[in-house]
Structure 1
Amino acid sequence: MRRTINKRILAAATMTLAAGLATGLAGCASGHGRYTTEHIERANERMATIKAATSWDMARQQFLAGDLSKALNNVDESLDLNRAVPKSHTLRGRIMMELGQLEAAVVSYREALELDPGFVEAHYYLGIAHERFSEHDQAMERYLAAANLDPSNAQFIIAAAEMHIELGQLDKAMELLESRRSNHQHNAGVRQTMGHIAMMRGDYERAVTLFGEARLLAPDELALHEDLALAQIASGRFTEAEYSLRRLMKHKDFKDRRDLKHAQARCLIHLDRPVEARSILLALTSDSAGASDIEAWIDLGEVAMHIGDMNRVRLVAARLTAIAPNRHEGPLMMAMWSRRAGDLNSALASLNKAVSLAGADPRPAMLRGVVLDELGRRNEAASSFIDALAIDPTHDQARRMLAAVQQDD
């Protein structure tokens, strides 16, 4: 009897357990619990964030390497995974700018700023986009926003100052840089930009000071050495300028620069070292580029006149007449050669041509007056001296020669 009851109890328990297991399995088959679902969703979000960051990093490296196509694919993949990242939109804008698609770049930068109005890079690169559209006021607004958000970064305030320069607002550009100077006491770029403004304002002495300070802050930046040398020339410091140029041209990237050799030769002329200047100018005019280098030929002719190398003067005059027929220097030098040779009539013919081409240079009219005086044609000589003074009222020699011929009459 007991055995029968036990069998019944065991059978009932087994059926109850089976039913409970079936119910549990049915519950599992119907879906996850709320906690489990939220946990899975958060895990997926974290994974998407990690993948988006990885794609962004790859895109950035490819952008820096110049592989724009791959960079664009990866940044788009990053944005597909997570569109709420301002730096991803900004990187896409930079890629589109490099691809020449400025409108698309602007859209990306604005999307970045909608997500984070204080995202500095988006302001700065949107400013660059406006600058490329020649929208200088809008560009300056963005650069100033970036500068205010990150006062420690000098490139933002320099960019804003450059927009003032583009708009011809030199005083405002200088005032802006001066107002932020305390934030950038040790920044060479700020002083360099101030030096450029000083040069444009004709304040060459201050430019020398500013470029000198910039060079001390960044002695390895050779562009600063060049700026300083040019400022020294403009301020008449030819000894310092020639030394600066000589040092600069010892570097491989500068040693073959024709413009720097020109500048050095002109310094040597001002320092009354014409033979050294002639050596540089002969080298400049002897190669294929020099065959049509008008300024080098003019300087060579003037040096040749200074040291009395009249054969060289004649050669230069002929060359200038050939390569620059609409300039007055060729006929002027030919007149100098003819006068030195004693052929005053040929000199006068060349000078008449030089005067017609001279524009704002009083020298042809001045020399024509001298030749006319030597030919005994004093009234015409006086008229020519008056022409020279009309071009340059401060020309003392023309004034003295005019007084002399008038006194003789």
Structure 2
Amino acid sequence: MPESPASLSSNERHSYLLGRRSFERGDDATALTEFRRLLETRQGFADVHYMMGVSLERQDEVRAAARSFVQALRINPDYAEARLGLASLYEREGDFQRSREITEQASAREVPRAGTLDPTTRGKLANLQADLGDAFCEAGEPGEAIDAYRKALDRCPDFHDIRQRLGLALRQAGLPNRALAEFRRVQRSHGDYLDAAVQAGLTLYTLGRADDARREWQGVLQQDPEHREAQMYLRLVR
């Protein structure tokens, strides 16, 4: 059962507060010592298990960190940060399927309360989903990556860097027209994000539209004459 700091004895409160302050300073050794001392008598603090998980992860004790995140979620199944931490650990270990399942569980639990989610939590969820997409791309599974990026954009549609990665995955999956549409969306909303124009040009070139591609890269060089990728592609297609 969840517990409250108000129920702590003076010694327990000392361990709780010192552990928390040490955690916030990045002093993981002291934080872990104090939290372990507290857990000898008090097991019901989800935030203590979460902070232990983060500290253990920073010390590369991945399995112990996972156990701490799991315990935090047993106490509070709605603890979004603990769920994100656990998903991140599974991704780090290469278990992308479990990472995706946990991320989707987090999203499902938040749907009824979506209006109350703070922007920071939404952004973290979106970035975690996008990181999963990156992993799928690196593993040569663009279809799975596309699905992950779209889920990230469902949560934060204005994250143009994720939309850019979606475009790259679509092109990798043999869907250049859809890729071009995503690059255009980035260009419309973030005209100064020149990488979208560079990738739009490359996609046009793969579609056999070399003149349009050249115009795209020339437009990039008008804004940034030193843009190396645009310079390189123009040299290649002349």
Q: Mark yes or no: TM-score above 0.5.
A: yes
Give the SS at the match of 1:199. helix
User: Would the aligned equivalents of 1:265 and 1:278 in 2 still touch at CA under 8 Å?
Assistant: no
Distance in 2, matches of 1:283 and 1:214, equals 30
What letter is aligned with 1:303?
L
State how many pairs are aligned: 208
Percent identity at matched positions?
A: 19
User: Would the aligned equivalents of 2:126 and 2:155 in 1 still touch at CA under 8 Å?
Assistant: no
Distance in 1, matches of 2:24 and 2:105, equals 33
Distance in 2, matches of 1:182 and 1:243, equals 31
Q: How does 1:6-405 map to 2 (within 5 A)?
A: 82-85=10-13, 89-178=15-104, 182-185=108-111, 186=114, 188=122, 189-190=124-125, 192-202=127-137, 203-219=141-157, 222=158, 224-236=159-171, 237-249=178-190, 255=192, 260-271=193-204, 272-281=212-221, 283-286=223-226, 296-306=227-237, 308=238
Counterparts in 2 of 1:248 and 1:83: CA distance versus 1, 3 Å: farther
Give the SS at the match of 2:11. coil
Moved more, 209-218 or 263-272: 209-218
Distance in 2, matches of 1:204 and 1:268, equals 21
Moved over 6 A (4+): none
Pair member with larger Rg: 1
Q: 1:218-258: per-residue Cα shift (whole Å, max 9, x none)? A: 45xx4x332122112221233223223224536xxxx4xxx
Counterparts in 2 of 1:113 and 1:285: CA distance versus 1, 3 Å: farther
Return 5+ residue gaps in structure 1 as ranges. 1-51, 54-78, 287-295, 309-409
Counterparts in 2 of 1:146 and 1:247: CA distance versus 1, 3 Å: farther
User: Would the aligned equivalents of 1:261 and 1:280 in 2 still touch at CA under 8 Å?
Assistant: yes
Q: CA deviation at 1:160?
A: 0.3
Distance in 2, matches of 1:119 and 1:245, equals 43
Q: Greater RCO between the two (CA within 8 Å, min separation 6)?
A: 2
Counterparts in 2 of 1:201 and 1:269: CA distance versus 1, 3 Å: closer
Counterparts in 2 of 1:284 and 1:121: CA distance versus 1, 3 Å: same
User: Would the aligned equivalents of 1:174 and 1:197 in 2 still touch at CA under 8 Å?
Assistant: yes
Relative to the length of structure 2, the TM-score reads 0.72
User: Would the aligned equivalents of 2:22 and 2:28 in 1 still touch at CA under 8 Å?
Assistant: yes
User: Would the aligned equivalents of 1:262 and 1:281 in 2 still touch at CA under 8 Å?
Assistant: no
Return 5+ residue gaps in structure 2 as ranges. 172-177, 205-211
Relative to the length of structure 1, the TM-score reads 0.44
